[in-house]
A and B are shown apart, each in its own frame.
Chain A
């Protein structure tokens, strides 16, 4: 157990709907990163939040957005859901530092878009 929690565990939505996924970082960690993992693929970086500011973004459209709260928990919002958004969404937390920061993953949220 890493101490990173995510909710909900599973979610089923229909195309065009909006979804909010939540993540609580490990105690002492101030950085949260979000990843999307499609079936049979490695996780793909969506974006990272460091002290409530977006700190890097992967190749995802603007309908993927997020925020980080003062307690360092975070939300991922996806608007106008598409079938290809069906995936495991992973949150990872880490502490401030240089390139040697280690990211610890939560259990993930399985999103199914019908």
Chain B
């Protein structure tokens, strides 16, 4: 069974610090990798996607992908209390057919940014 693993947390960081969220996946053929943020009682909101090995930066967020290690991470710089949420890692499988691809999610990591 194809799995996505995340540390459930909670991960607590002080305001202004760097938060590091990690995710591993079992399907070596996985092609696309997504990070979603989910506030309590709300639906997931896309933060970033990454397809190629290396780093991708968008504002305070940096996604890192290492396909050889089957590892993807999200760094949040200058963490703010408003970043407190659950962060979901999602991957698309390597054997999907036509059209869009199903997402396999981890259980999410709960981040708490302490003022």
Name A residues whose Cβ lies closer than 8 Å to a Cβ of B: 31, 33, 35, 40-45, 48, 50-51, 55-56, 58, 88, 90, 92, 94-97, 99-108
Contacts and interface: CB of A to CB of B under 8 A. Distances in A.
B82 interface: no
Given A99-B92, A100-B49, A102-B46, A44 B105 contact: yes
Given A56-B96, A100-B51, A45 B46 contact: no
A88 B4 CA distance: 20
Interface residues of B toward A: which range? 20 to 34
Nearest to A6: B43
19 contacts: A42-B88, A42-B108, A43-B88, A43-B105, A48-B100, A50-B98, A50-B99, A50-B100, A55-B98, A56-B96, A56-B97, A58-B102, A90-B44, A92-B103, A95-B100, A100-B51, A101-B100, A102-B34, A108-B42
Nearest to A94: B100
Interface of B: 4, 31-32, 34, 36, 42-46, 49, 51, 88, 90, 92, 96-108
Nearest to B8: A40
A40 B100 contact: no
Q: Is the interface of B mostly helix, strand, loop or mixed?
A: loop
A31 B96 CA distance: 14
B89 to A, nearest CB: 8
Contact of B106 (A33, A42, A88): A42
Given A90-B43, A90-B44, A108-B43, A103 B104 contact: no
B44 A96 contact: no
The 7 A-B pairs at the shortest CB distance, nearest first, are namely: A42-B105, A50-B99, A101-B100, A99-B31, A31-B100, A94-B100, A45-B102
